[in-house]
Structure 1
């Protein structure tokens, strides 16, 4: 297959491109380097140093003999987007190319507007490009489990059958997002479903949980192929923060009472989920949704898991929650689609022991302590 990966310079886009290339697909890689610009804006870098896009592409050619076809540009530019799709003529497009951090979208009005404009307009331009160039292209879009929020009913895979006043229908699952970033993903999902229903496009929406881990079989082949390890309070994940705090001998900072529950999966499972989705496409006119997670943890439980796995003394400290979210809540997620296609998940405890602690220990001098504590507050966005 010919697969175009959008956002291919990012944390997940880069290892996904390598995984697909290693699986024998012809891969195009597109990015506008916005994620690197966020580093400059916030004054924080990836814990693990990353090479330039050009160096990465050349390194992959050297170690694998395979070529990645690069495109540099912005999806909010409709002419560029259509030209890139027409130029590469993909069978499938994997879409990571969005501002991905909830805290970033909640800094202030400007960041909220940027997030929604960048994400929603970029995806709309992509839908029009697919419809114009080849409606048979399969769009694999990275959504988020955060679209659903924490409803008091089971979270189905994208769709819900309801009976109301004696009549039954199948509708998109109700969404209750918790940030302007998550709202942008909801808008994407509705726009993509509309394009499938009206134009006959085919799409798979992967509602992804929190991804952890930094190494895949392909990125391990050469240090120049490393992907990001984000730990700061804006772009870093809670697990990365806990691991760094454990290695540095700091208390693990849990927001609120720690009863919030999150769906999670390992980075090797993420790239494999995308391969499975690409190789088993949705039907024309179908908007297919997979919940992409393998385990779920309460934040307090996650902190205890890290503390127990680390070979040393670790304390846990609770901070005032900077977010506005439910604490104690019901959380039961249906996620059968990807296992049904053959996904065999990795376990969190093994990843912590085998990978995360040594990575942090090897790069501990790059940690900026001040970046670990929350600086963005949901209600503070009104005053920013």
Structure 2
């Protein structure tokens, strides 16, 4: 690192926001952390909880000060409040803003009309407020925005990094890669990308859109320093990831539940690499007026391949069950996504390995008494319910 940066992390109380804030702080940057605790509220609403207990935001910040000697500037508020957003950005005066502060679960956005509207309002309006705050405070602030590989869907052509050069009727142009998302959540991310690209093109802002794959893992070198620094481990059917669910099912001796044929292929990335990608993006900013897109993933696997990898790594016998798929998605499809830009900037990725999976087994065993098996049961259907209220009840 050549110079200390001031970096404001939004959504810093969440699964990725918290370890990323610590990682950036540990690398010498002055870090501010902002959250409205909505993620904790979703747990209360759905009647679920993180497998790993998590400390309060205040205790986390104080613990990091005790452990590292470094202070995190704290802001509590909502991005949908424009006055709060402008005040926070103007008050901290960051060189870069890392934006994790969105409702992040596709199943949550598909529960019913209210959850779809909330997801899009929260995500799109919050990001718009942030763009205005940057433009009004200092257009040179670099926005590092967490997108998702789910914006692209599963096209029958290679997925480029955000942009595509096309030739039509003898003329050639460079345009944003066509998007075909699979949920109202993923649609909100597409709207974000279009709004950010517009702000870069019209206002001269600078932004990096990180289209991230499915994240696995729970621990980074920083969160491992003290149990009070731990980040979330979600395994429920709404917010949990498939690898987390498989790890818990293996430890419990339950079959690994694969939706449909298991042919759904997705990009994956280790939680440690997520934090490193954010650092790389912050320290190597986009230029003025540039909307830059990186595909933040390190490998791709099908759900069935993930299940078989978990089954092979677990020391006991593990069965795999195939369930009716509650989602509307292609289960057998072409998937080839380019993801070279971050590696060219220095990323040295961790790949899914038996060692990592074994560490997840140990983590699950340690907190086995907190497992609620019924939380893993898929309850949210992508097809619209004839009785909307039934979806809410089923999700809880």
Regarding TM over 0.5, the answer is yes
Match of 2:265 among 251, 261, 264: 261
Match of 2:184 among 180, 199, 205: 180
1:192 aligns with 196
- Write out per-residue CA displacement over residues 248-276 of structure 1, whole angstroms, 9 at most, x where no aligned residue: 10000000000110100000000000000
TM-fit CA distance, 1:364: 1.0
Q: Is the 8 A contact 2:262 2:302 kept in 1?
A: yes
1:155 maps onto 2:159 in alignment? yes
What value does the CA root-mean-square deviation take over the aligned residues? 0.7
Q: Distance in 2 between matches of 1:241 and 1:222?
A: 25
After superposing the two structures, state which structure 1 stretch, 363-372 or 166-175, moved more: 363-372
1:32 maps onto 2:36 in alignment? yes
Structure 1 SS opposite 2:353: helix
TM-fit CA distance, 1:373: 1.2
1:92 aligns with 96
1:17 maps onto 2:12 in alignment? no
List alignment gaps of at least 5 residues for structure 2: 389-396
Match of 2:304 among 279, 300, 306: 300
Q: Matched residue pairs, number? A: 384
After superposing the two structures, state which structure 1 stretch, 374-383 or 144-153, moved more: 374-383
Q: Is the 8 A contact 1:215 1:355 kept in 2?
A: no
List alignment gaps of at least 5 residues for structure 1: none
TM-fit CA distance, 1:347: 1.8
- Summarize the Cα distance change of 1:351–1:35 in structure 2 as closer, same or farther, 3 Å threshold: farther
TM-score (norm 2): 0.96
TM-fit CA distance, 1:355: 2.0
Alignment of 1:49-198 (within 5 A): 49-198=53-202
Alignment of 1:173-322 (within 5 A): 173-322=177-326
Q: Distance in 2 between matches of 1:319 and 1:82?
A: 47
- Write out per-residue CA displacement over residues 140-165 of structure 1, whole angstroms, 9 at most, x where no aligned residue: 00000000000000000000000000
TM-score (norm 1): 0.99
2:391 aligns with none
Structure 2 SS opposite 1:93: strand
Q: Distance in 1 between matches of 2:245 and 2:230?
A: 19
TM-fit CA distance, 1:382: 5.7
Q: Is the 8 A contact 2:313 2:358 kept in 1?
A: no
- Summarize the Cα distance change of 1:351–1:215 in structure 2 as closer, same or farther, 3 Å threshold: farther
TM-fit CA distance, 1:18: 0.0
